[in-house]
Amino acid sequence: MPATAAVKATHGQTRRANERFVLRTIYDVGPLSRADVARATGLTRTTVSDLVERLQADGLVVEAGTGPSTGGKAPILLRVPSDARQLIGVDVDRERLSGVVVDLSGEVCAREARAIGDRDGAAALRELEALVESLQRTADRPLVGVGVGTPGLIDTATGTVRWAIGLDWRDEPVGQHLAQTTGLPTVVVNDSQAAAMAEWTFGHHDTSSSMVVIKVGEGIGAGIVLDGRLYAGDQSGAGEIGHTRVTDDDIPCRCGGSGCLETVASQRAVLARARDLAISEPRWALADGPLSHERLLRAFRQGDRKAQEIVLESAPPIGRVVGAMIGTLGARDIVLVGPMADYGEPWLARVRAEAGRSALPLLVERSTIHIGRTGDDVVELGAAAMLMTSELGLALAA
């Protein structure tokens, strides 16, 4: 490459980096004046003015009135409007796809879901493509791209699903497929890691610099944020706690092992126990029809003793793993999300109690174990948050 081309590339990269830096500063701290941005970034006022002009032309920055005067002309304040861009976030579950269109504040503008049942492999991928294309048509603002959270081991750098148990995806270039189909930048991330990003970005967490988010649904996994950064591990498998052996019972797991956490504490395991009880005790109130998460949850909340026993016996194994993660990582903020978190305080209390017996008491006492704040769209929001970072440079606020 000629030296002049290398210099031009470097200048272009520097300008792009500075532009992202300015946008991130206004997004995180704004409304700010140009002078405030210059002071916060260390860039010259001339550079900031040029970059702000470009961002305004792109609709990413707008004027937001004037600030207090310090003796001269009142400064014009700048902000990033939440509706400047929209993002598509998708949660790939083993039986269901759900997706949202969100703005830059995480506000859901549209949503869609579809069942995939027992479809896997290429059939599941086609359903995913169809869902994303449908969401793309509902967007009414420029789209940043597509973020996908899916179970399994994910090579986030390439958007390749190395192995997703239950979906029959092995070395599947999901990100490449979606980028070709939609023409949009695409990020693919593990669903539990996406949940961690949602809670870190939109969950209004405390001032701790680290967080562990444990998603308990059809599967179980953890997303780990250390010092404000997502930790994926050397093999992109950090947080794959669902396939940790926690019992000597030889209950077979879909991973090929037995006695895994998912076999005793997941939503699927809880419903399986409830169905077995319905067969053995036909007079039980829930034995008169199909059992679902919603039906079991309703009985649990209404005080059905058997429903409560079935649900609450799933909590201690989660608590032991929580205790192990507190002891290993020293994280103070432990967040539980997913369908099992719907059982609320009674289930959470059992998790906390077991965690307290499974780690150094002082560490557990200084930790906060609570249910997440981002609701049912946690994976979709997290996938969108990853996209905000990769495409706009809007870092996850600590």
The residues, ordered by sequence, that sit 6+ positions from 36 with a Cβ below 8 Å of its Cβ are: 29, 75
Determine the pLDDT at residue 396. Answer: 47
Cα–Cα distance, 182 to 17 (Å, whole number): 26
Task: Count other C-beta atoms under 10 Å from residue 145's C-beta.
Answer: 23
9-18, 61-70, 97-106, 375-384 — which one is most confidently predicted on average? 97-106
The residues, ordered by sequence, that sit 6+ positions from 141 with a Cβ below 8 Å of its Cβ are: 83, 84, 85, 86, 103
Task: Count other C-beta atoms under 10 Å from residue 273's C-beta.
Answer: 16
Whether the CB-CB separation of 284 and 306 falls below 8 Å is answered with yes
For 283-349, give the secondary structure using H, E and C.
CCHHHHCCCCHHHHHHHHHCCCHHHHHHHHCCHHHHHHHHHHHHHHHCCCEEEEECHHHHHHHHHHH
Q: What percent of the chain has pLDDT above 90? A: 62
pTM of the model: 0.84
Structure tokens at 121: 């492999």
pLDDT digits (tens, 9 = 90+) for 71-117: 778 889 999 999 999 999 999 987 889 999 999 988 999 999 998 87
Cα–Cα distance, 327 to 359 (Å, whole number): 6
Structure tokens at 6: 């290398």
Q: Is the pLDDT of residue 357 over 70?
A: yes
Cα–Cα distance, 184 to 84 (Å, whole number): 17
Determine the pLDDT at residue 272. Answer: 95
Sign of the torsion angle spanned by Cα atoms 317, 321, 326, 332: negative
Cα–Cα distance, 54 to 60 (Å, whole number): 9
Cα–Cα distance, 37 to 30 (Å, whole number): 9
Q: What is the mean pLDDT of residues 64-75?
A: 82
Whether the CB-CB separation of 351 and 322 falls below 8 Å is answered with yes
Query: Helical H runs in the chain?
Result: 3-29, 34-41, 45-57, 121-138, 174-182, 191-202, 262-265, 267-280, 293-301, 305-312, 315-329, 344-358, 361-365, 378-387
Q: Give the confidence band of 316 by pLDDT, cuts at 50, 70, 90.
A: very high
Whether the CB-CB separation of 397 and 28 falls below 8 Å is answered with yes
Q: Is the pLDDT of residue 2 over 60?
A: no
Whether the CB-CB separation of 278 and 290 falls below 8 Å is answered with no
Query: Phi and psi of 214, rounded to 5°?
Result: -110, 120
Cα–Cα distance, 289 to 202 (Å, whole number): 39
pLDDT digits (tens, 9 = 90+) for 179-211: 999 999 999 999 999 999 888 877 766 656 789
Cα–Cα distance, 392 to 22 (Å, whole number): 11
Residue of 132, 87, 137 lying closest to 113 (CA atoms)? 132
